[in-house]
């Protein structure tokens, strides 16, 4: 279910220390064992450093992606689908893809640390940050607030988004909230929330934290998931259209003309189907016209590989 919580690793309690006779020096085997453990530890740290720097590659890799037990293991997109990897690479820097296979705890990506225009996907952090503000006031959202949240997410109402964005403190409020929950890479834009940028890895992180119950209280998480699951059928491109029949999908798309006059399109969401749960986030930019073809192609290939 959406509100399951990830379990922290259980560490074994320290074993009892062996009895040592008074005044007797420590036996040599214990010293050799200690040195062996130190050597093994150093080797492990060295290997882990190589994996983190070599395989993960990006200096902007978010802190939630830690190996081996604090988060998903990471692999390039080719490890999931050679077709998807080839298609994403053909788009160069104008596409970013993140896939988090929650069921098998695996994370695949291409160009995931590049900032992309959020467009209406900015409404997800606006919603989460506003609900966080309400919680800080020890209350539930009012009827009018819930109506604004509903219109903003389900039909992508920009006026509702603007009202909540302003009430939450404009750009500074968004930046403060994302920093508080450990989501990095957000760059606000003075011309509006739709031109703010965020890497695909951070969008995937937001959806992951919501799904795993790491943000908001139970009631507000339920509301957020409900709204993301009720996005209008005419606004469910990408992840929504690619999802198998009968799947539960919690998603948000974004589309906007950027400062240079080209289009930025994106689709991100959580999919639950047949015992499998995964998150897909696809971002594109510098498209000459309004078109979901590229986002849809990437989402379709990702879904085929996962299901």
CA atoms of 159 and 152, how far apart (whole Å): 8
Task: Tell me the pLDDT band of 263, cut-offs 50, 70 and 90.
Answer: very high
- CATH no. for residue 222? 3.40.710.10
CA angle 192, 196, 201 (to 5 degrees): 155
End-to-end CA distance of the chain: 18
Read off the pLDDT of residues 59-113 as tens digits, 9 standing for 90 and up: 344 444 443 334 789 999 999 999 999 999 999 999 999 999 999 999 999 999 9
Strand residue runs (E) in the chain? 73-76, 95-101, 106-110, 116-117, 197-198, 248-257, 263-273, 276-287
CA 271 to mean position of chain CA atoms: 13
* Whole-structure pTM value: 0.79
**Does residue 46 form part of some domain?**
no
**Does residue 55 form part of some domain?**
no
What is the count of structural domains for the chain? 1
Distances (CA, A) of 154 to 161, 225, 280: 11, 11, 19
Q: Which of 302, 249, 307, 254 lies closest to 280, judged by CA? A: 302
Distances (CA, A) of 79 to 73, 113, 150, 242, 272: 12, 18, 38, 20, 22
CA atoms of 251 and 278, how far apart (whole Å): 12
**Does residue 27 form part of some domain?**
no
Task: Tell me the pLDDT band of 20, cut-offs 50, 70 and 90.
Answer: very low
**Does residue 20 form part of some domain?**
no
**Does residue 157 form part of some domain?**
yes
**Does residue 211 form part of some domain?**
yes
**Does residue 295 form part of some domain?**
yes
């Amino acid at each position: 279910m959406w509100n399951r919580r990830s379990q922290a690793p259980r560490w074994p309690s320290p074993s009892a220390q062996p009895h040592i006779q008074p005044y007797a020096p420590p036996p040599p085997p214990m010293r050799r064992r200690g040195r062996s453990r130190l050597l093994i530890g150093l080797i492990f740290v060295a290997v882990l450093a190589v994996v983190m720097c070599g395989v993960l590659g990006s200096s902007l890799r978010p802190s939630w992606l830690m190996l081996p037990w604090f988060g998903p293991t990471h692999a390039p997109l080719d490890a999931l689908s050679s077709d998807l990897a080839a298609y994403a690479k053909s788009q160069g820097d104008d596409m970013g893809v993140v896939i988090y296979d929650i069921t098998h705890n695996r994370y695949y990506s291409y160009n995931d640390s590049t900032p992309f225009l959020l467009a209406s996907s900015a409404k997800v952090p606006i919603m989460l940050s506003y609900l966080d503000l309400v919680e800080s006031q020890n209350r539930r959202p009012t009827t009018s607030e819930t109506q604004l949240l509903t219109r903003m997410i389900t039909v992508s109402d920009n006026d509702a988004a603007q009202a909540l964005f302003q009430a939450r403190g404009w750009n500074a409020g968004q930046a403060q909230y994302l920093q508080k929950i450990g989501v990095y890479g957000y760059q606000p834009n003075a011309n509006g929330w739709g031109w703010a940028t965020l890497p695909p890895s951070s969008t995937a992180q937001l959806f992951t934290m919501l799904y795993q119950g790491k943000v908001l209280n139970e009631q507000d998480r339920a509301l957020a998931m409900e709204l993301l699951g009720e996005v209008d059928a005419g606004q469910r491109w990408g992840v929504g259209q690619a999802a198998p029949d009968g799947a539960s999908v919690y998603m948000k798309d974004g589309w906007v003309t950027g400062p240079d006059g080209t289009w930025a399109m994106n689709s991100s969401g959580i999919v639950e189907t047949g015992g499998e749960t995964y998150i897909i986030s696809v971002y594109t930019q510098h498209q000459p016209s309004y078109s979901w073809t590229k986002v849809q192609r990437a989402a379709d290939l990702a879904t085929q590989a996962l299901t």
